[in-house]
Chains A and B, each alone.
Chain A
């Protein structure tokens, strides 16, 4: 197992390297270069521009810049934000907790409810409830997250005033858990909806595969309660393919968070990214994309490893 993990990690290195190369050269392909925003500032002189170029190391060759960048990136130094003159990584990390709060709570909701709904759907296949869940999940993965977010915002905050229209807490108020949760509800549910729709389907089909197997009939024949047969015997094997999907989806929740954070003014990493896009703040963009790429690669490995741990039939040699 240990050997397998190490080998998977080693395999990931060239992928991460290729990604970093790709992203780095993408940035240098841009019109005007990273200095574009300074050129248009009033009162800036050629000499000042030159100084900025040297300060940012932009006077070297592209390859030198890349090696320079990579060397620093490995140590977590992505340079300074062009706009805020703060280390890009510091800015990103400052926003990470808010994003994680949103993502983890959404993930939790997704996992719990996709199991409940998926198992129900499978056990009561073709029942009215199963059809209802099927229809709703079809809606779920056809509905653009940002539109769902807008609709929820209009209905529950603007019209009904049940929930705040955005932000992570009431501005200026002292910290209170209730207030935080109050702000969390809408963005969390919106973010969870899409993954819930697709994952409850995975649980359903995985359960359906398992339920028809002989050992389930044996368990029933032994006289075990239906509850025990379903939740202990069947679910355990149905879990396998689902766990992989869920771990992968957790990484992709960052993309959903990008949209949700923008709509609900959630002070997370996604919103920082959009700000940086609008301000052409390349170090920040680079830091975030690099970070997420690593997260996705690691999630891939984690999914593989978990699969191996959960399924004793799989031998890694």
Chain B
């Protein structure tokens, strides 16, 4: 009773690593959806999205249109922030720390330093510790994930191949990251030095994984997911949540598909529910085979 702090002169600290990673923890088990208009953002929230990614063009259109893809217009991001109550994320170009500064000033909840946009720096990623807003970064393998974490990323998403509607690359990247985590936990001390060298990743992070068996930050999956089954596949492979980009709003009937993907992500191990929610969703986005694409977005990032 006497302990109750009514006159808490509180030691409030914001922007800590725990606070930044904490929001990623809250998004686990959910679906983050790409949206390009406030109307789409409402559809996403109504379907049960845990967050929306506000961008000007979905990756399928960026791929089709070509040219330089940049941070979205602040007006468009603000329009989306106004209509939804869930967190709003937005993308900055790799290495473009000023776009990130602008996104932080706009009050977005998470910045995605994304290979889907045209990179601004071919050697350096953003120093993400310099920001109060948390960052998510893509990775194709564990080394890339750990380099991003060492720069301050608070969430990792496997890259997949955005805008293709083809899950094959997402599976490859998830298996690579999670497989190497498993192998590291079986390694002895001397082998950890070799892991650090071969993955080009900081040794202390490798040693930490050997001990905990887990990535330091939540691991989500992105890039090419188009169906409820794709989302459940990513979750069963070990992803902790999913991003769906073009897969929803490039399909014939986005709202029911968005809902179905949300339910599939929650019930990813229940085949009965997966069968039920997969019914009658109309045509998914057409999708592209990997042999037919000119630009591999996942190769961007260093």
* A pairs with B: no
B→A interface (CB under 8 Å): none
